[in-house]
Amino acid sequence: MTGGIVSVRDSSWLLSWTVNRQPHFKKQPADQTVIWFYALFTDRPGDYVKKPMRNCTGEEITREWLYHLGVPLPEIDQLAAEGAITRPCMMPFITAFFLPRNGTDRPKVVPDGVKNFAFIGQFAESTRDCIFTTEYSVRTAMEAVYQILNIERGVPEVFGSIYDVRELIKSTVFLRDREKLPIPLFAKHWVEKTAIGRLLEEYGLI
């Protein structure tokens, strides 16, 4: 199963993990799976490994994860040592992306009265996008150039895919690995006669 993040509510570290679509890397062997897991409370001792996550080796972090997966206790240490390779990485500002803000917490791309510098990237304030995307950083750079050089050009708007049923259908197609959705007999007539049915067929979902 691949997809969204799984969070462990009972974890002292508030541990989460996600298994994205594999292979994660082009040359990844078929018998390997890349898993990303992280914790928000890195200063608290773990439930299995009685150390803060920030002080743990990759193997110790794996032990804590296996514990929360429900792996039998006698098997955890060996599996962590021989069955996985974990590369720890500290990202101290990552959670800042998701904190609530009111428009004054970060500097404007071009602050009022400024003529010769700008702020770009995830920690500059722009109303056009949700941070944590490459597009946000690109748009703030475009805003900076256009404003400072007085170029009358609009920054491309965010693609409104969440409001477009066609994009939702296409996403579903890829989530199913292009395997067509079976239509029950009782619904077949309805699907064939409606605009939605034609869309589902056009984009390869049925």
End-to-end CA distance of the chain: 22
Give which of 132, 129, 133 is closest to 156, Cα–Cα: 129
Look at residue 128 and tell me whether its pLDDT is greater than 70: no
Whole-number pLDDT of residue 2: 53
Look at residue 103 and tell me whether its pLDDT is greater than 80: no
Q: What percent of the chain has pLDDT over 90?
A: 40
Domains of the chain: 6-82 (3.30.9.80), 100-148 (no CATH), 161-202 (no CATH)
Whole-number pLDDT of residue 3: 63
For the stretch 142-188, pLDDT in tens is: 999 999 999 998 888 777 777 788 888 888 888 888 888 888 888 87
Average pLDDT score over residue span 10-36? 89
For the stretch 189-198, pLDDT in tens is: 777 778 888 8
**Cα(160)–Cα(176) distance, rounded to whole angstroms?**
22
Average pLDDT score over residue span 11-33? 89
**Cα(2)–Cα(61) distance, rounded to whole angstroms?**
21
Whole-number pLDDT of residue 1: 46
CA 196 to the chain's CA centroid:
29
Which residues, other chains included, contact 156 with Cβ-Cβ below 8 Å and sequence gap of 6+? 139, 142
